[in-house]
Amino acid sequence: MFFFAKIFWIVSQPVTISFFLLALSVLLMLFSFRRLAIAAGLVSLALVFVSFYTTAGALIVQELEDRFPRPAAPADAACVIVLGGGIATKVDGVRGGYNLDDAADRYIEAVRLAGVYPNARIIMSGGDGSLTGGNVKEAVVIRRMFDDFHIDPARVEYDAESRDTYENAINTRAILQRLNLDHCLLLTSGFHMPRAVAIFRNLGMNVTPWVADYRTTGKQGLRLSAGHPIDNADLLTTGLREWIGIVAYYFAGRVSTLYPQ
């Protein structure tokens, strides 16, 4: 399913669909299907406009982020589960260091929580999620980071084999069972939390959602937005990917609810 999901998402992104519609419009015009060509071109143009010049994407992401507000900090925590997704693994494998992307807050918060809860075990789950493989594994990079921040290696368990959120959960469950741990903080981005919580719960793990990466203000409305078109398109892509993932996992039996509470 991993490879199918990756390929499906490549062809189902808004920008990709818009390109296919534009190409279809040209072909229809060449074969004298003028009305159909115009219709395909208009739909393509509308999709580009909504993606790049409105806050539609921010609204979708905001809804996902608001599903699980961060709770009050517990007095103690037995463990913290950190889901990968904040490292530019393709770049890091060549240049080294810590090349963080937009989800880097996950790791900053993990380091902070390691100090707040000095007795908590930390489970870092993240491998190479690329379609072709061959990139550095995220847990390998974070191991170097945690060592540089002087987090006791004995506290941390690394899963470097997970390629997606479902594999994160499967491999984490095995670690929790081996260490006899339960009721962990689940640390990931706000937009990713509903899908992650649904998967972990479906596999029998009781986790407390702990959001560490927000992309919206929480007060976003639908409006025109011409100042940051690339950011707008990125938010729409992020939100749609999560919803497609939740629906796909539901029909595959990997989650028991479309929208967990």
What are the residue boundaries of the structural domains of the chain, listed by start? 2-65+228-251, 72-211
**How far does CA 106 lie from the centroid of its chain?**
11
Which two three-digit tokens encode residue 87?
């490292």
Residue 88 has pLDDT above 90, yes or no: no
The topology (CATH level 3) of 72-211 is Rossmann fold (3.40.50)
* β-bridge pairing 79-83 and 184-188: parallel
Residue 24: CB atoms within 10 A of its CB come to: 18
Question: Which residues lie closer than 8 Å to 231 by C-beta, 6 or more apart?
Answer: none
Q: 237-259, pLDDT tens digit by residue?
A: 999 999 988 888 899 888 888 77
Q: 191-240, pLDDT tens digit by residue?
A: 999 999 999 999 999 999 999 999 999 888 899 998 889 999 999 999 99
Q: 126-179, pLDDT tens digit by residue?
A: 988 777 777 888 888 899 999 999 999 999 999 999 999 999 999 999 999 999
pLDDT computed for residue 23 by the predictor: 92
